[in-house]
Every structure is written in structure tokens, then in C-alpha cells.
Structure 1
Amino acid sequence: MKIALLSVTKNGRIIVKNIHTILEEDPSVIKVDMFHKNIKETLYNIFNSYDCIIGVMATGIMIRNICALIKNKNEDPAVLVIDEMGKHVISLISGHLGGANDFSIKIADIIDAEPIITTSTDINNKLGIDSLSRRYYLKINDISKIKYINSGLINDERVEIAFNPKLNYIWEDLDVKKSYYKSSTTSDTITISKNSITMNLKPKKLVVGIGSRKDVACSVVIDAINNAMNVLDLPLERIDSIATGQMKQNENGIIDATKELNIPLEIISEKSIKNFKNPDLNDSNFVKNKFGVGGVCEPSSLIAAGNDSILIFRKTPYNGVTVAIAVSKS
């Protein structure tokens, strides 16, 4: 997630700096930038460049300045507002698809504040279909149907979900909410229906990129992958493939880890990595001097995930193993 932090007052700037310091250490945060004052101009320039915008200011200031910028829930970034005393974190727009609700809880925990969430499914302790899609990186085929499915959940109507048994980790999450009735399908597409209304959710391709020192142990690779997935609160079963560079294709630790986890291994050629460009890559001079490329795990994950894929977990070292995670656009 790429995050912009905005402030207008001296105290607000202090809160922003505290949040920035903590988020910089979070590997699921790909970029975090701070902006002070000039709110109208700043929002106009950055609104479509960040996944989440957090403003420490009056709610009215934020609302008046984003009215002309918002489009729809499928495109708009998450927008949060924090009062100047840091007592409340308000999820303003894109609570589900944009992740504002979950991030409000996260930020509130960081600054010891109270998260304010007003979406119906959440306050009725239901997991909305849009929250489900964001949580597990699922592509919704028709977002216009979300309101019909979610209203059914809120009103305790019968909402059915059909999925392949290999995706049973989703049901373990849903079952807590007692919101859906399940059935099985052999398809990888998840089907959700209420009466005659049906919508499909397709898992996006999620790839774990791996780099490592020479002769790394299998157990260390598995621990590194586990740690990264735990940060994202995702099960190992959600991984579609593990990718590494050609220069690491004979590392037994990586090969054995993919076999033990029963996850396909994709080898990305050195040429592909050298030619790959992405503004979110964190290049290493050490790796560049040794292999002629700026990194292994990040470009490998992004290339394997496909065109327009994005990082959801930036390069992070674990005992000689580097991990990055990318997800496809669709």
C-alpha cells in the first residue's frame, strides 16, 4: 500500500511524523510520504497516486477538497481523517474495496485512538463481499451487484457461496461471521448468489519472490515465507507460485521449500530481471555488483505475477533470505 499523510497544523504534523516513523518499518507499506498545508493543491496532485490518504484535520476540510476528485468505489483511494488531538480515526471513503476500514483500525492502534467505522456490514458484524475480495485479493466481475449481496447479509437473507475445497481457508474466515451458506465447485472461480443475483470472484495471482544467500536451508526459506504471509494475515494456501531469479535456480533450499509447501516454482531469467523497470523496486548495490541486477525477489515476484502487477510486501530480509510478494491486476 502506498500512503500519503497530510497535516495542516503543528500538532497534526507531529501526529503525522509519528505515524510515518512506524509505517516506514512496515513491509506491507510500499511507500509513505508526508505533506504539510496546501491541502487543496496537494490532494489534486496526489489523489490518484496513493492507495490511502490520511489527513490529520477537520473532516469538513477533507470532504470539501475531495468532492471533485472522487469517482467510484472501484477507483478511489482509501481516505481517513484523524482529529488534531489524535483521539479518533475516521474511515471516510473506500472502506471496503479501498481498505479504509481495516486501515483505520491499524492506524488507531498505532496512535492509541478510537477507529470510527460506519459501513453497515461492519457494524452488523458481517463480512461484506467487497471486504472479502480485498482481504484475499479477489477480482469482482461486477461491482454493481455488491450492494445487493451485502444488503442480503445485513438482513440475514440466504446468501450462498460456492468455492473449490482447496480455498477452504476462506470459509474458515467466513464461518466466524455466520453470514453465508456454502457449497462446493470444481472451478477456481468463487460464485456468490442471493436469489437470482449472482456474482463471481476470481483469485488474482499472488506470487512470493525469493532471493537468498548461497546454500540457504529449506527451513529458513519456509520460515521467511511464513513470516511474510503472517504480516499480510494470509494463509500459505493463498500463494499461487514462488518465483526466483535464474541465478538462484539451483539453490536446493529454495527448491526443497517449494516442494515441501507444494507450491509451483517459477524461474525468471536474468535478462528479464535486468530489463524490468518498476518505480517501486528497492535495488541493492551488493546484489547488483554480484549478479548484475538490482534485486531478485521483488522483480521476480512482479514479473511472475504478470503485467501491471503490484507489490503488496516489499523486499524484507529474514536470516539470509529476502522475500517480496506481488499480486496481479486481475
Structure 2
Amino acid sequence: MNIAILSVTNQGKEISDKLYDNLIQNPLFLNVKQYHKNIINTVNEIFDKYDCIIGIMASGIMIRSIAPHVNSKLSDPAVLLIDDNANFTISLLSGHFGGANDLTLKIAEILGSTPVITTSTDVNNKVGIDSIAKRFYCTLENPKNIKFINKALVNNTQVELCLHPKYSYILTDEVKKSYNTKISEEYQNITATVDNHKVILKPKQLVMGIGARKDISYDKVKNAIISACNILEFSPLRIDFFATADVKANEKGILENIKELNKELKIIPMDEIKAYQNEECSESDFVMKQFGVKGVCEPSALIANGTGSHLIFKKTAYNGVTIAVSLSD
């Protein structure tokens, strides 16, 4: 996720600095950039270039700045608003599919502020169908029907959520409390239905790239996979398949974990990794010295996921194991 932090006052800049220092340490945030003053011009330039815009300023300034650019809940970035004392962190735009509500909770925790979320499903302890789509990286079909599904949830009208067993990873306690769930192999996707209004969710492809030191243990690889998935807030079963370089193709610690998860491991030739160019990939001096490539887990995840894929979890080291996760276009 790419995040822009905007501030106006010196006090706001201090909050911006604190956020920046924290967010750049989080593997979910690939690019974090700060902007100070010139808010209207800045928003004009960046609105469509970031996944989230955090404004530290008065609400009037932020609302007037983003107003000309607001288009659709399915395409607008998440927009958060924070006051100059960091008393409140407010989800202002794209709470569900843009992820602003979930981000509001994370940012509020960092700053010790009060999160403010106003979407009806959330304040009524329901999980909107577009929130499920965002949290589990799904596309949405029939988005015009989202309002019927979410309105029914708020009104405590039964909404059926039908899914194939392979998608059972979406059934968190929150989701099971919100929907009447049905699991069967006859269902191909994830479908929410109420009064003939239907929304279909199709999970995008997620690939976890793995790099590891020689003779890495099963336990260390397992811990790395689980730790990364905990940050991503989903089960390892959400990963469609795994990838690594051919020099790691026979690492028992990796192979045993993939077998246990009943997933496929794609092997990427080192020559292909050497030739691969992508500005999202970071560089490791150790890997360059050992194998003559910048890294293993990030390029493996991206190459295996195909053209147009991008990282949603940058390279993170866990006791001899490196993990990165890519998402299909």
C-alpha cells in the first residue's frame, strides 16, 4: 500500500513525522511519503496515485481539497483525517473497499487517538460485503448491489453468504455473526444474496515468495509464514501458491511446509530472477554476494504471479527466512 501524509501546521508536521517513522517499518506499506502545506495543489497531483491519503488538518481544508476528485467507492483512495492534537483519527472516504476504516484503527493505535468510523455496518457490528472483498483481496461483481446487501445487514435481515470450501478462510467470527453462511462444492465463488440482489466476490491471486538460508528448519519457515499472515490478517490458506528460486528448490524446511498447507511451490530459475527488473524489489547485499541477484522472495513472488502483479507485503526477515507477498492485477 502506498500512503501520502499531508500536514499544514508545525504541530501537524510533528504528527506526520511520528506516523512516517512508524509506517515505514510496517511491511504492508511499500511507499510512505510526506507533504507539507500547499494542500490543494498536492491533492490535485496525488489523489489518484496513492492508496491512502492521511490529512492532518481541519476537516474543511481536507474536504474542499478532495471534493473535485471524488468519484466512486470502488476507485477512490482511502482518506483519513487527523486533528492537530491527534485527539481523533477519522475515516473520511472509502471506508470499506478503500480500507479507510481498518486503517483508521491502525493509525489511531499508533497515535493513541480515538478512532472515528461512521459507516452503518461498522457501527452496528456488521461486516459489509465490500469490507470482506477488501480484507481478502477480492474483485466485486454487481457492485451496484452492495447497498442492498449492507442495508440488509444493518436492518438485521438475513443475508446468505455462499462459498466453496476452499474459500472458508473468509469465515472469521465477525463474518459468521453477520451472515447466514453456506459452504458447498457446488458454489464456485463467494456470493452474498438478499431479495434477489447478488454480489459476487472473486479472490485475486496471492503468491508468497520465500527465501531462506541453507538447511533452514521446518519450524523457522512455519513461523515466518504464520507471522507474515498474521500481519496480513488472514490464514495461510488464503495464499494461492508459493514461490522460490531454483537454488532453494530442495530446502526441506520449505518443502515440508508447502506440503502441509497442500499448496503448490513454483520454482523460478535464477537466470530469470537476474534478468527481472521491478522498482518494488529491494536489494540484499548478502544475497547479491551469495547468488548474484538482488533478492529471492520479492522477485519470486512477482514473477510467479505474472505481469501486472504488485507487492502487498514487502520483504521481511524472520530468523533466516524472508517473506514477500504479491497480488495479481
TM-score, normalised relative to structure 2: 0.95
Cα distance per residue 1:100-125 (max 9 Å; x no partner): 00101110111110111111111111
Mean Cα deviation higher: 267-276 or 38-47? 267-276
Q: How many corresponding residue pairs?
A: 329
Give the alignment's Cα RMSD to 1 decimal.
1.5
Aligned 1:230-249 pairs, distance under 5 A: 230-249=230-249
Corresponding residue for residue 42 of structure 1: 42
Name the CA distance, whole Å, in 2 between partners of 1:114 and 1:265. Answer: 43
Change (3 A) 1:175 1:78: closer
CA shift for structure 1 position 187: 3.9
Change (3 A) 1:185 1:148: farther
Corresponding residue for residue 255 of structure 2: 255
CA shift for structure 1 position 250: 2.1
- Unaligned 5+ segments in structure 2 are none
Change (3 A) 1:194 1:239: same
- Whether the 8 Å contact between 1:210 and 1:324 is mirrored in structure 2 is yes
1:269 aligns with 2:269: yes
CA shift for structure 1 position 181: 4.1
Change (3 A) 1:10 1:175: closer
- Whether the 8 Å contact between 2:207 and 2:240 is mirrored in structure 1 is yes
1:117 aligns with 2:92: no
Aligned 1:88-167 pairs, distance under 5 A: 88-167=88-167
Cα distance per residue 1:244-265 (max 9 Å; x no partner): 0122112222112211222210
- Unaligned 5+ segments in structure 1 are none
CA shift for structure 1 position 183: 4.4
Name the CA distance, whole Å, in 2 between partners of 1:210 and 1:252. Answer: 13
- Whether the 8 Å contact between 2:208 and 2:325 is mirrored in structure 1 is yes
**Identical pairs, percent:** 48
Corresponding residue for residue 292 of structure 2: 292
Name the CA distance, whole Å, in 2 between partners of 1:119 and 1:306. Answer: 36
- Whether the 8 Å contact between 2:90 and 2:115 is mirrored in structure 1 is yes
- Whether the 8 Å contact between 2:206 and 2:327 is mirrored in structure 1 is yes
Secondary structure at the counterpart of residue 171 of structure 2? helix
Corresponding residue for residue 13 of structure 2: 13
Name the CA distance, whole Å, in 1 between partners of 2:247 and 2:185. Answer: 40
- Whether the 8 Å contact between 1:190 and 1:201 is mirrored in structure 2 is yes
Change (3 A) 1:185 1:151: farther
Matched AA of 2:311: L
Name the CA distance, whole Å, in 1 between partners of 2:31 and 2:205. Answer: 22
Secondary structure at the counterpart of residue 67 of structure 1? helix
Matched AA of 1:146: I
Secondary structure at the counterpart of residue 68 of structure 1? helix
Corresponding residue for residue 172 of structure 1: 172
Name the CA distance, whole Å, in 1 between partners of 2:110 and 2:176. Answer: 26
Cα distance per residue 1:58-89 (max 9 Å; x no partner): 11101111112222111111000100111001
Secondary structure at the counterpart of residue 260 of structure 1? helix
Matched AA of 1:128: G
Name the CA distance, whole Å, in 1 between partners of 2:148 and 2:174. Answer: 18
Corresponding residue for residue 70 of structure 1: 70
Name the CA distance, whole Å, in 2 between partners of 1:259 and 1:55. Answer: 45
Cα distance per residue 1:279-310 (max 9 Å; x no partner): 22112233223222211101111222222222
Change (3 A) 1:309 1:233: same
Corresponding residue for residue 216 of structure 1: 216
Change (3 A) 1:275 1:144: farther
